[in-house]
Structure 1
């Protein structure tokens, strides 16, 4: 998200035009199913919780604006050309191999590298974190069900936790005494920050029977184990902040 403030035109090219190209190619090739990946960021800060699929869309960053546009392009191909498409709207995914631009791997990799303090942005917002294996299971469930075609469907845990409390949980699991420091460079513009995300996952449960298999603690434990492996940790430059 942060880089979309610097290069918004690239997000239009990738998210909107890219989605158009994929849909056109899928239509021409007569593919059996398309799962278009949206994001919970399209909802912006929750106007009510939990957030269901009828929640208003709020473009609070160039990134989220282009994802809203991409969703509209994708659904237009279903409505206009009967492309067998489902919009999957995952909430915050985390797990092994995640980019260090995200908060959870930022914390884990720095603690694992022996840092004594970590610079962070605002830690008051809440998120609905989902372990990557659960997100993948959600995608598979949507792709196998015929009643999900033409639908927009959340993938999430139906729970929320603040970034601050998530950090404390990671700190506890890793038995660390690390200090958290607020860094103004990492704070989003006030109107752009999404302060609350909490997924209503009733629709995916109703249509596919899907529900998350991992608690946040269980997912973090597996994630920490992966990042703590020296061979994996070596792939991350923990002393550099990339947007």
Structure 2
């Protein structure tokens, strides 16, 4: 039986599709996308081949939607995580779990020792997933690496997220923003994929890393960059629709991941936005 280097859950999603296209010629990857079947059902996992590592990118995402569908977010994200850990236990596979920002309004830059402050159902589902990974590490010897990305952006991202929602409006010259106050740590998707690739040889039984650029950007800065790139005079319309439990500023403390994996973000905001614009408007 063929043994793969890596199984990717959520391989046709934003991060999964970028990772696969970038590294499919370097390692043997088995893709698991939506057509594979319902990963919440245990019997579907019998179809999966053995792999040395499982990369779990399969989850419901988008914080506002999680408030409307709390039960679906918890049910989906937890069941898939449980089944993925059972797969790793059975096949002696390592587990890379992509979590999320789970700190609330916290000390900046935010390192891994910062107290977890769950303030939305999506983050709750991710923290529960982390706890399951730690449990399987302690009691079933499943090695797990937890990555907590802050805000990843890049081409082909879901239009509901901040940067694609802005870019989709710029040709109209008016950009409607629900709340202009938040500042976000933004990391380009290729930089995140490079990190994931570097972590494939991780050794520790259980470890957690915060992932980001280490810089925080305001919505005004993002729009000013887009003005420069597109030469379009963009007007901001701030609707002041403040989101429940909004986090006003994020900035990842990334010293630990830099030290342990010799990784640095290399794409600045202007470069990343230009790549998105070039791809979107060249088609």
Fold conserved (TM > 0.5)?
A: yes
What TM-score do the two structures reach when normalised by structure 2? 0.75
Unmatched runs of 5 consecutive residues or more in structure 2: 1-62
Q: Is 2:228 the counterpart of 1:168?
A: no
How far apart, CA to CA, are the structure 2 residues paired with 1:182 and 1:150? 43
Give, in angstroms, the shift of residue 18 of structure 1: 1.7
Q: Which residue of 2 aligns with 1:124?
A: 181
Q: Structure 1 residue runs of 4+, over 3 Å off?
A: none
Q: Which has the higher contact order (CA 8 A, sep 6+)?
A: 1
Match of 1:178 among 229, 234, 238: 234
Unmatched runs of 5 consecutive residues or more in structure 1: 231-243
Q: Which residue of 2 aligns with 1:68?
A: 127
How far apart, CA to CA, are the structure 2 residues paired with 1:217 and 1:144? 32
SS of corresponding position for 1:151: strand
Q: Which residue of 2 aligns with 1:133?
A: 190
Q: Which residue of 2 aligns with 1:188?
A: 243
- The Cα offsets for residues 168-221 of structure 1, whole Å up to 9 and x where unpaired, read as 212221111121212355x312xx211111011111111110111111111111
* Residue pair 2:148, 2:208 contacting (<8 A) in 1 also: yes
Q: Which residue of 2 aligns with 1:43?
A: 103
SS of corresponding position for 1:144: coil
Higher helix share: 1
Q: Which residue of 2 aligns with 1:236?
A: none
How far apart, CA to CA, are the structure 1 residues paired with 2:110 and 2:152? 16
- The Cα offsets for residues 97-140 of structure 1, whole Å up to 9 and x where unpaired, read as 100011111111222xx213122111211111000000111111
What TM-score do the two structures reach when normalised by structure 1? 0.86
Give, in angstroms, the shift of residue 69 of structure 1: 1.0
How far apart, CA to CA, are the structure 1 residues paired with 2:68 and 2:79? 19
How far apart, CA to CA, are the structure 1 residues paired with 2:251 and 2:189? 17
Give, in angstroms, the shift of residue 38 of structure 1: 0.6
Residues 223-242 of structure 1 correspond to what in structure 2 (within 5 A)? Answer: 223-230=276-283
Give the stretch that moved more between structures: 48-57 or 73-82.
73-82
* Residue pair 1:44, 1:59 contacting (<8 A) in 2 also: yes
Q: Which residue of 2 aligns with 1:22?
A: 84
- The Cα offsets for residues 121-173 of structure 1, whole Å up to 9 and x where unpaired, read as 112111110000001111111222324x4100112111111122212212221
Higher strand share: 2
- C-alpha RMSD of matched pairs (Å): 1.4
How far apart, CA to CA, are the structure 2 residues paired with 1:116 and 1:108? 10
Q: Which residue of 2 aligns with 1:238?
A: none
How far apart, CA to CA, are the structure 1 residues paired with 2:130 and 2:280? 33
